[in-house]
Structure 1
Amino acid sequence: MNAANDARPATTPAADRPILQLTDIWQRFGGLVANAEVTFDVPRGQILGLIGPNGAGKSTLFGIIAGARAPVQGQVVFEGRDVTRLDAPARCALGIARTYQVPRSFDSMSVLDNVMVGSFSRHTRAAAAREAALEVLDFTGLIGRAGASAGDLTPPEKRRLEVARALATEPRLLLLDEVMTGLTPSEARKGVELIRRIRDRGITVIMVEHVMEIVMPLVDRAIVLNLGRVLSQGAPQEVVRDPAVVAAYLGDRHRAA
């Protein structure tokens, strides 16, 4: 990394600083404003839910945090360092990993080899990368499928493989993009348990989800986006009672409930 990406001056001990700070983030695509004035901090060790209706700007913001695209305005600070102009591989090296809403597995490769793709970002020797990948597969419940082709996995297993490959990069911040979509209730319970165990490992989690029944009991804090802006943020039980959130996202049926 070069000296152009200077860290924001630290005013608090590293352990007490938010792991991620977004300040006045704007993103435009031509005349379309995808994100506007987005500012929030993410305390380390929490599970943060990023929710909102379709077109709210969640995926765009996810991409900005991961380094897929730089904002047209604003600042992204990770672990006290300004990473706004760093690309995704550089941010991965610093400890930011993500999954994708549509799984991006290498279907002709084995499950183990898929996860080793992630572990090679931390281990240069194949034996060490393989050992690390096997540990992640055991942690995520996929060890029994290590030798299977990724293309033969069920959709829920492919979502879990996305998580495993991201975990193999040994992140400090994990971005989960709709990993619960399409799961049965029993599969969703296993997914919730996995996310809690990830947090228990000291990894901060930001997750985009639409299934409110899953998100709200799981997250420590929720941020609601609407039309690219932060509509509400706070404890989940407070956010779901916010009249603006009910009107813009949850709807009259939730208000009645």
Structure 2
Amino acid sequence: MSADPIQREDPIQRGDPILRGDPILRVDHVTLRFGGLVANADVSLDVARGELLGLIGPNGAGKSTLFNLISGTYRPTEGRILFQGRDITGLPAPERCRRGIARTFQVPRSFDSMNVVENVIVGGFVRHAGAAAARRAALETLDFVGLADRAEAVAGELTPPEKRRLEVARALATGPALLLLDEVLTGLTPSEAKAGVELIRRVAERGVTVIMVEHVMEVVMPLVDRAVVLHLGRVLAQGHPTEVVRHEGVITAYLGERHRAA
């Protein structure tokens, strides 16, 4: 059954009509090699439309590399990636963005000499040809993420938590169907992390599919619908968070003996 068409003018909502129940993203036996180094090895996973998926694992597990493969920074050595039912394996990152994939980065990449709204307008131009429409979308998005009062501030003057929200805002302004969040809660105080969790929930409530990489297990596990654990570039486990944290391999490779005792 087809969902109602989403209006392009809403910068938060998904850009295209969708079929509920079909996976929005399929990573199909993907491997990435850098010479003799295997960064991701035979990774396969499906992401349901509207799902909030947590991608977790120790440092060096291949999480950010997988984000780079999905967003188009890298092209897999083997395997394929399908988005909205179409093979996007060979498409460059800008085209994937136009089709509805947006992302943030571990280290925020703001244009520090530009003001906040101008940073978000950059994302708005993906969906809006005119400057006025892109600015309107940018201001609406800043209001959504809680940065409306900082619209005219120079981006370089923002605090670290504000810069992370700015990254989210610029990504949302592109009108994504799929949003990749790379450690947007890392380094935040408990109150800041709580506000970040609330923002992610509100994004998901708008129908945007979210995949998030995060190291703070106590924050991620209650938030996500499903968790995928990577270890040494491979999928070690996936399932409901309560199942994943009891997986023997996950405890051994990632959580540690203290978790087993708890």
TM range (shorter): over 0.9
Report Cα offsets for 1:25-51 as digits up to 9, x if no partner: 000011011111100100010110000
Report Cα offsets for 1:152-190 as digits up to 9, x if no partner: 000000001000000000000000000001101110010
C-alpha separation between the residues in 2 aligned to 1:195 and 1:131? 22
Q: 1:184 aligned to 2:189?
A: yes
Q: 1:113 aligned to 2:118?
A: yes
- Paired amino acid for 2:110: S
* Structure 2, unaligned runs of 5 or more: 1-17
Q: 1:39 aligned to 2:36?
A: no
Instruction: Pick the aligned partner of 1:224 from 220, 229, 238.
Output: 229
Runs of 4+ in 1 over 3 A off after TM superposition: none
The residue correspondences of 1:10-89 to structure 2 (distance < 5 A) are: 14-89=19-94
C-alpha separation between the residues in 2 aligned to 1:64 and 1:205? 16
Residue number in structure 2 paired with 1:4: none
C-alpha separation between the residues in 2 aligned to 1:61 and 1:16? 23
How far residue 66 of structure 1 moved from its aligned partner, in angstroms, is 0.3
C-alpha separation between the residues in 2 aligned to 1:40 and 1:127? 40
Alignment TM-score, normalising by the size of structure 1: 0.94
Residue number in structure 1 paired with 2:202: 197
Identity %: 70
Residue number in structure 1 paired with 2:3: none
Residue number in structure 1 paired with 2:250: 245
C-alpha separation between the residues in 1 aligned to 2:200 and 2:20? 22
C-alpha separation between the residues in 1 aligned to 2:109 and 2:164? 9
C-alpha separation between the residues in 1 aligned to 2:142 and 2:233? 36
C-alpha separation between the residues in 1 aligned to 2:151 and 2:249? 46
C-alpha separation between the residues in 2 aligned to 1:110 and 1:192? 25
- Per the alignment, in what secondary structure is the counterpart of residue 28 of structure 2? strand
Alignment TM-score, normalising by the size of structure 2: 0.93
Residue number in structure 1 paired with 2:8: none
How far residue 15 of structure 1 moved from its aligned partner, in angstroms, is 2.0
The residue correspondences of 1:208-223 to structure 2 (distance < 5 A) are: 208-223=213-228
Q: 1:175 aligned to 2:145?
A: no
How far residue 16 of structure 1 moved from its aligned partner, in angstroms, is 1.8
- Per the alignment, in what secondary structure is the counterpart of residue 142 of structure 2? helix
Residue number in structure 1 paired with 2:159: 154
C-alpha separation between the residues in 2 aligned to 1:46 and 1:244? 24
C-alpha separation between the residues in 2 aligned to 1:103 and 1:35? 24
Report Cα offsets for 1:84-141 as digits up to 9, x if no partner: 0001000000000000000000000000000000001111111100100000000000
- Per the alignment, in what secondary structure is the counterpart of residue 23 of structure 2? coil
- Paired amino acid for 2:39: A
